[in-house]
Structure formats: C-alpha cells, structure tokens
Amino acid sequence: MLRRVCLFVFVVTALPLGGAARAAPSSIKVAETWADLLDREPVDTGRGARVRLGVEATERPQWSGVLLYCLYHEPDQFFESHNEPPDVLGPVRVYVRHESEPAGTPRRVVDRGEAGSYTMPVVQNARLLFVKPIALPERGLYEIGVYSHDDRLLASCAVRSVAAGVHPWTPFAVDWEERRAGRPIVRNSAEGIALPSWGGTTVLVFDGKADEKLVARDRGERLPTLVPRSPDPSLRLSLKDDVIELTADDRIYCREELNFLVRWWVNGEPYTPRPTKRLARQVTGQTPWECRWSARLEFVPETCGAKPGDKVAFQVLHCADGWDYVSDQRRHSMQQQRPDLKGDGPVRMSNVVEFTVK
C-alpha cells in the first residue's frame, strides 16, 4: 500500500522588534492629473499620515527639472509661522543622489541654505498637494527617495537627465547704477541657466477650506509643472521703443533681478546661455508689488551672435518665489506673503515678443 508522506515546510520571517514587518518601499510613478494621484495607493508614513506620491516625469533634459508631488489629507489645523527645513515635503522628507555620487550616501535635496519661514492660511479638512522642485544640472540618473521622519525609505524613483531638448531660462543682466538711480535697465548679457524656485515647497489645495473659502478642483485638471506648459493670458508682455512692459490682471512682485527669467530666440533658433557652476547674485532694495513692470532693454547682439536685420524673440517667466541657478543647490527663500493655496503655483509664463536687430 502506497502511503503519501506530506512534508510541511515552515518559513519563519524575521520581524522587527515590537511589531509586524514594514512594507517594502513603493515606486513613485509619473502623475499628470489630480486623478492620477487621488487614485493611487497611499503610502503609510508610520505617523498616522498616509500620502500619495507622484513625479512630473522620469526623463527630462539637462538644465531642466521636475516637480515631486505629495498629496496628503490634512485634518483641521491652523498654520501660523511655518518654519520648514529644506528637505521636508509635507509629512515626509526628500533625498536626491546623482549616479556619480557614492552609493548609499543620499544627500538632501538642498545641500545648503536656510529653511523657509512664512505664514500659512487656516486649512480645514483639506487634501493638500505639497510640491517640491528637483533640479537636474548634470546628465545621468538621479535617484529620488522619500523618507519618513525616522529615516525609513517609503518610496523612490529614478529620473534620467538627457543631453538635449530644453530651451533654458536665464536671468536678465541688471545695470545696478541705473537701478539705484531709479531707471531700471536690463540686458541680454547674463550668464548661467536658472529655474524658478517654487519657494522650496509649494502647497496647493485640492478640496477643503482655506481661510474659510471652499476649494474644489476637478479631478481631471492637470497638475502644475516646474515650468508652465503654455503662456498665461493674464500676463501680457510687450516691447515698444526699447521699453519692455509686463502687465498682469493682479498684482505681482516686480524685481528684475529676483522675479523674472527670460529666454531668447535668434531667427527662430533657441539661444543657450553659457552655463556656469557658481555665480554671485546681487539683491538690493524693496520689492514693488504692482500690476505693471517695465524696464528699458539694451540688447547686446554679440551675446547671442545676432546681426543687424536678424529677428530676435524673447519670453519672460514670472517667478513669484524667486529663482535659483540650476547648478547651485542653495535655496533662496523669497516668499514674502501668505501663499495662494487655491492657485496653480508661483510661476507664470508670458507671451513671446519679437523685434528686428538694428
């Protein structure tokens, strides 16, 4: 008689002291709309907070960047003076490492610089989107890790920075003597490639109350991107008799050395300024808050190889929270008012203006 012998194999899984096994880190996927985040499986941070994570893209050109998204349900809470370490993204922390750096030693998303400090509105039972910019100054693979406050890896992704495909932004060159005399003059002779700073971390409301006002966005609405996809019709750029004028439907900060980036075309070809590793910045005076900004443009044709008769075009990026050189990971906190949680972020793009070199 054939007897069947059953072999039972017992697998013993080691558990951390005091509880069940921790979940393996999840993968951060690309998110393009609010629905992409809302329908995503939440990640438990271990402190009673569950977050939904996303990234703007997993491949972008060098000298550009991506936004990292963290959607979080915030119960009733009042924010007054808010001090934020530069690696914080809502209830989690962010670390970034380029493939050229030693493995196992991720660095903070910002190496140097101070924490932001500003006043937040009253938020009630709201789903908040925390947004952080990740600059890509070098080619290659960037590893992005999201950690709990006790340094446990919750989720990660990789973003590849490739060679070509971005039309970079650069600051205006400012004539400081004329500026001190109250006659703002800007030139196209600045060096360096820059990106809007997004204030280190930007917070937007999907639904809930902010300062007693109900906010309710559409699930299909697109998420903000580091640089806007298209011009904002509420921001109008013009050039007349060598005077640049930018008008807005609402008041904007109007410091030419802090709040504006520009990009140039010569005969339809994008101009790329010379990238530099480290550049000094000057900041002086008070920041006007107006519906109109103007400055005289002294165009330097030699800077971009333009000749008389060439067609030159330019476009302006308004950065309410300032900007940073893409090669400089220091953060310059420029937030000067309570942020608008109901808007689409602190960056707006103007229309394109064209002129002929004389």
Convert the pLDDT of each residue in 102-139 to its tens digit. Answer: 876 555 554 333 434 445 566 778 888 989 999 999 99
8 Å CB contact between 75 and 125: yes
pLDDT at residue 336 in the model: 46
pLDDT digits (tens, 9 = 90+) for 18-62: 334 456 889 999 999 999 999 999 999 987 789 999 999 999 999
Q: Is residue 8 assigned to a domain?
A: no
| Predicted local distance difference test score (pLDDT) of residue 91 | 87
Q: Which of 87-101, 172-186, 231-245, 302-316 has the lowest mean pLDDT?
A: 172-186
Count of domains forming the chain:
1
Q: Give phi and psi for 290, each to the nearest 5.
A: -135, 175
Beta-bridge partner residues of 60: 161
How high is the pLDDT of residue 125? 81
Phi-psi region of 219 (alpha: psi -120 to 50; beta: other; left: phi over 0): alpha
Lowest-confidence range among 78-87, 119-128, 233-242?
78-87
Higher pLDDT, 145 or 255: 145
Cα–Cα distance, 333 to 118 (Å, whole number): 10
286 CB contacts (<8 Å, ≥6 apart)?
A: none
**Does any domain span residue 326?**
yes
Q: Is 253 exposed, middle or buried (0-12, 13-18, 19+ CB in 10 A)?
A: buried
Nearest CA to 214 out of 67, 79, 57, 342 is that of 342
Lowest mean pLDDT among 117-131, 151-165, 215-229, 288-302: 117-131
Paired with 352 in beta bridges are 315
In a domain, 53, yes or no: yes
Residue 47 in any domain: the answer is yes
Can you read off the two tokens belonging to residue 157? 């992704």
Of 66-80, 243-257, 290-304, 330-344, the range with the lowest mean pLDDT is 330-344
283: closest CA among 131, 149, 156, 176?
176
Quote the pLDDT of residue 107: 57
What's residue 126's pLDDT?
A: 83
Q: What is the 3-state secondary structure (H, E, C) of the chain?
A: CCCCCCCCCCCCCCCCCCCCCCCCCEECCECCEHHHHHCCCCEECCCCCEEEEEECCCEEECCEEEEEEEEEEECCEECCEEEECCCEECCEEEEEEECCCCCCCCEECCCCECCEEEECCEEEEEEEEEEEEEEECCCEEEEEEEECCCCCEEEEEEEEEECCCCCCEEECEECHHHHHCCCCEEECCCCCCEEECCCCCEEEEEEEEECCEEEECCCCCECCCCCCCCCCCCEEEEEECCEEEEEEEEEEECCCCCCEEEEEEECCEECCCCCCCCCCCCCCCCCCEEEEEEEEEECCHHHHCCCCCCEEEEEEEEECCCEEECCCCCECCCCCCCCCCCCCCCEEEEEEEEEECC
- pLDDT above 50 for 288: yes
**Mean pLDDT for the chain overall:** 82
Largest separation between any pair of C-alpha atoms in the chain: 108
Are 197 and 319 within 8 A, CB to CB?
A: yes
Look at residue 237 and tell me if it is in a domain.
Answer: yes
> Would you say residue 165 lies in a domain?
yes
3 in a structural domain: no
Please give the Cα distance from 234 to 229 (Å, whole number): 15
Q: CB 124: neighbour CB atoms within 10 A? A: 16
Full domain range(s) for residue 47: 26-356
Mean pLDDT computed over 333-346: 63
- Structural domain contains residue 17: no
Q: pTM to 2 decimals?
A: 0.84
pLDDT at 80 over 60: no
Residues 6+ apart with CB under 8 A from 285: 179, 255
Residue 5 has pLDDT above 70, yes or no: no
User: If you average pLDDT over each of 74-88, 225-239, 249-263, which comes out highest?
Assistant: 225-239
User: Residue 41's pLDDT is what?
Assistant: 94
